[in-house]
């Protein structure tokens, strides 16, 4: 069921991209100012995706980090930068919580200490804190009047616009909030709203999954090198093969076992390789 849903999302996104490329679809620029508490890779991936789709200008973006040098790349893009988290919250309508989970509470205390709390009212906070529930985020933000929370689980392929993200609302998030977050995440790849109890399961698949796939690609590349291919060529072939196989899964209405069987001829080299993988307990 989830696979069918993801296929429909990919088809919709492909249609929208074709319309935009041919000038048949327009992008409505957002008026909200967007803040990022934390300047890491995920923050950059989300911001770049939103900007690339024409949804915001970097002049609408506010970013904080305890280390001003880390903000140089943001400043070069035209974003507003500061070492003061409270300034980002004050100036932004939507605030991404993009710090490491273990420093989140300290960041909140710094905001409370440095901000006039009347400027922190009615903000939408989007949490990308791994393993931190909406309940815990809401509890940490209990002194922020009117705060709404949405939790997002992103993954690193967002950096190239090929992300796979899920999100879930906190107790006070509105439909308008959810629509806005969906717009943000669609700018970085595919996304889906799910109940919060499923977030950890998705983390194992889409957030951790790229690392598992990289190991498999490396293994394919190693095999190619062993058989005489140059490393660069072997890696390129391995990566393209994995990408092509993934698209076959998403775009064909066939079970993965069926697709596997279509490659395996009786007594052939592929079924021998599959046997070796099964014997080695790859799964």
Instruction: Check pLDDT > 70 for residue 26.
Output: no
Give me the mean pLDDT over the 203-231 stretch: 96
Listed residue (207, 102, 189) closest to 153, CA to CA: 207
Tokens of 119: 């400027």
Tell me if 228 is assigned to a ligand binding site. no
- What is the pLDDT at residue 30? 93
How many other β-carbons are positioned within 10 Å of the β-carbon of residue 126?
26
Residue 211: C-alpha distances to residues 76, 215, 241, 266 (Å): 31, 6, 17, 32
The answer for residues whose C-beta is within 8 angstroms of residue 64's C-beta and 6 or more apart is 35, 36, 37, 38, 39, 71, 81, 82, 83, 84, 85, 87, 88
pLDDT tens digits along 174-204: 999 999 999 999 999 999 999 999 998 999 9
Tell me if 41 is assigned to a ligand binding site. yes
First to last CA, the chain: 22
Tell me if 195 is assigned to a ligand binding site. no
Tokens of 252: 């064909």
Tell me if 38 is assigned to a ligand binding site. yes
pLDDT tens digits along 54-86: 999 999 999 999 999 999 999 999 999 999 999
| φ, ψ (nearest 5 deg) of residue 97 | -90, 100
**Structural domains of the chain ordered from first start:** 2-198 (3.40.50.720), 209-279 (1.10.3730.10)
Better-scored residue on pLDDT, 243 or 159:
243
- What is the pLDDT at residue 113? 84
Tell me if 65 is assigned to a ligand binding site. yes
CA 10/CA 31 separation, integer angstroms: 27
Predicted confidence band of residue 27 (pLDDT cuts 50, 70, 90) = low
Tell me if 85 is assigned to a ligand binding site. yes
Give me the mean pLDDT over the 109-137 stretch: 90
- What is the pLDDT at residue 283? 87
Tell me if 37 is assigned to a ligand binding site. yes
The answer for residues whose C-beta is within 8 angstroms of residue 198's C-beta and 6 or more apart is 166
Predicted confidence band of residue 95 (pLDDT cuts 50, 70, 90) = very high
Instruction: Check pLDDT > 60 for residue 15.
Output: no
Give me the mean pLDDT over the 121-145 stretch: 95
Answer whether 29's CB lies under 8 Å from 50's CB.
no
- What is the pLDDT at residue 117? 79
Tell me if 39 is assigned to a ligand binding site. yes
Give me the mean pLDDT over the 75-101 stretch: 96
pLDDT tens digits along 35-51: 999 999 999 999 999 99
Tell me if 233 is assigned to a ligand binding site. no
Residue found under tokens 């993988």: 277
């Amino acid at each position: 069921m989830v696979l069918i849903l993801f296929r429909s999302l990919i088809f919709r996104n492909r249609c929208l991209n074709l319309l935009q490329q041919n000038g048949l679809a327009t992008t409505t620029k957002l008026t909200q100012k967007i803040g990022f508490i934390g300047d890491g890779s995920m923050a950059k991936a989300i911001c770049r995706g939103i900007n690339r789709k024409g949804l915001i200008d970097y002049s609408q973006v506010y970013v904080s980090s305890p280390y001003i040098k880390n903000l140089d790349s943001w400043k070069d893009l035209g974003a507003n930068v500061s070492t003061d988290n409270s300034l980002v919250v004050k100036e932004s309508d939507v605030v991404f919580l993009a710090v490491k989970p273990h420093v989140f509470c300290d960041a909140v205390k710094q905001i409370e200490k440095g901000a006039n709390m009347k400027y922190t009212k009615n903000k939408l906070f989007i949490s990308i804190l791994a393993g931190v529930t909406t309940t815990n985020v809401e509890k940490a933000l209990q002194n922020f009047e009117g705060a709404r929370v949405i939790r997002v689980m992103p993954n690193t392929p967002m950096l190239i616009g090929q992300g796979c993200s899920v999100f879930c609302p906190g107790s006070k998030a509105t439909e308008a909030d959810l629509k806005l977050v969906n717009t943000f995440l669609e700018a970085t790849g595919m996304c889906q709203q799910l109940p919060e109890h499923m977030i950890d399961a998705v983390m194992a698949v889409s957030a951790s999954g790229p690392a598992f796939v990289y190991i498999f690609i490396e293994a394919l590349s190693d095999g190619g090198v062993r058989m005489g291919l140059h490393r660069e060529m072997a890696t390129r072939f391995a990566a393209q093969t994995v990408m092509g196989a993934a698209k076959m899964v998403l775009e064909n209405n066939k079970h993965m076992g069926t697709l596997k069987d279509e490659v395996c001829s009786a007594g052939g080299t592929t079924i021998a390789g599959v046997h070796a993988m099964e014997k080695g307990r790859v799964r």
